[in-house]
Structure 1
């Protein structure tokens, strides 16, 4: 199933951040949006969380992914392709791949380091590397 969507031009305000008064064509986070009021989960990617991030780096990347998705949506016509595995996720969001000119918009976010391919399971975005408190060691 292919549904075509269009933003008129880069200045078109039809896609912005979802909020109290914006709920028809808007972006919830880097991998979730509303198209004509229907909640769409971008099925081929996973982006960092912004509502409950595990660390400040995840929140920062999630905000960047959200802003970049808005830019990509405003850039022109895109299609919604039904996910090959199932129609909805457990939250009732429609699972779709966003396509423009034969390329997944999700793959653009992946190439920019703002998303990773969806593997069927959430992976952590925070790396917890133990820090030493002694500082660098001196060469002897």
Structure 2
């Protein structure tokens, strides 16, 4: 942190200390990474189940701020196609670099999955999936993906 402050001051830091703290928090926080694959039979250590669920260091995590189409089982072909796309995109996002996991209001869901927001450089990976049309914001209940 002292190196960051010194660098910030040396390059004309303007007194916006809150911005500096946010930057330092982001740099410090994004320390998690792994090589993720698609989950299959057997051990689940670092793999993606679907567009909003993955295993990290042998812990099952449900992305808390989004909902993606179901894959097991999908209710229609359109849901399956979009669900596979969300799963592939989450795999790519998790493998793209370091990230952070943060806990919200609840630690676990009713299935025992850890509820976490996944961020990189302060931006939610769930928001990326929503922006790309592969997920919806979680509003406390599921909505269908079939028309």
Name the counterpart of 1:18. 39
Cα distance in 2 for partners of 1:112, 1:22 equals 31
CA contact (8 A) 1:47 1:116 kept: yes
1:88 to 100, 103, 108: 108
Structure 2 residues without counterparts, runs of 5 or longer: 1-28
1:115 to 135, 138, 142: 135
Cα distance in 2 for partners of 1:3, 1:96 equals 14
CA contact (8 A) 1:3 1:81 kept: no
Query: How far 1:22 moved relative to its partner?
Result: 4.8
CA contact (8 A) 1:42 1:98 kept: yes
1:30 to 26, 45, 51: 51
| Secondary structure of 2:126's aligned partner | helix
Cα distance in 1 for partners of 2:91, 2:116 equals 16
Query: How far 1:3 moved relative to its partner?
Result: 7.8
RMSD: 1.3
Query: How far 1:101 moved relative to its partner?
Result: 0.6
Structure 1 residues without counterparts, runs of 5 or longer: 8-13, 128-140
Higher helix share: 2
Scaled by the length of structure 1, the TM-score of the pair is 0.81
Can you list the C-alpha shifts for 1:69-96, whole angstroms capped at 9, x where unaligned? Answer: 000001000000102x210000000000
